[in-house]
Amino acid sequence: MKILVTGAAGLLGSAVAVRGAHGLSRGALDVTDTVAVERALAALQPDAVVFCAAIADVDRCAHDPLAEAVNVQAPIAMAQRVPTWLVSTNYVFDGPGPHHPGDPRRPVNTYGRQKARAEDGVLAAGGHVVRTGWLFGPGGRNFPSRLPELLAGGPVTALEDWPVQPTFVGDLAERLLELRPGVTHAIGRETTTWADFARAVAQRVGGTVLGVEALDLGPRPTDARLAPADLAGWSERLDDLLAPAG
């Protein structure tokens, strides 16, 4: 089976691509360009698409019109052409959690609302949805992935009292390639906080973590944990995050 993964330069897309999917980065395929998409599908003729392309900066989504095109319109258009697995987010929920696949969604920010609309459109086209969240892995540019670098630069501020299920990107990539049908959840089984996650990293690499109760961010769900949560727990994957490159 030939699987195409979009957004293949990102943390998740690259992890899917190295496991055998045909990866196209944003530079190779602008998913908002319908002509380019048609050409790519005609040339590659994939049996399935794992749609990882996204604008996942939650606060950027509130003001950047491109986010609607990438997060909503593009995956729906893809699903209308080829069997598509959309990587969605736990941010389609608010709280309390954990939330199961069939639970009512209640997104509290633009990013979550965009992903909810994308889910509806992809499912209507016969596609599938995999919800996840709080990814980390070597080379990632998000907060948990960059912790070794951030801690080397000085004290790191991290949230207390907000439940998260950090999910190792390699485990999620392998789950995605199983192409499970319908709406499924794929997330790490251990709950922690970002402050405690950061402290665990600091215990290994050094540095100081300052726990805080709030950060100056836009709306976030109060409890976006997912169930079932059956991927490896974050504590089992710290060695994979901290392993030297190469």
Q: What phi-psi label fits residue 117: left (phi over 0), alpha (psi between -120 and 50 degrees) or beta?
A: alpha
Torsion of CA 28, 131, 183, 106, to 10 degrees: -120
How would you list the strands of the sheet with 183-185, edge to edge? 22-24, 3-6, 48-51, 84-89, 128-132, 183-185
How far, CA to CA in Å, does 58 sit from each of 61, 63, 171? 5, 10, 23
111 classed as catalytic: yes
Q: Tell which residue, 42, 241, 20, has the closest CA to residue 148.
A: 241
Nearest by Cα to 122 from 132, 131, 109? 131
Cis peptide before 138 (omega within 30 of 0): no
Question: Could you give the CA distance from residue 68 to residue 70 in angstroms, rounded to a whole number?
Answer: 6
Contact 85, 132 (CB under 8 A): no
Catalytic-role residue among 85, 111, 134, 136: 111
Which residues are identified as catalytic? Answer: 111
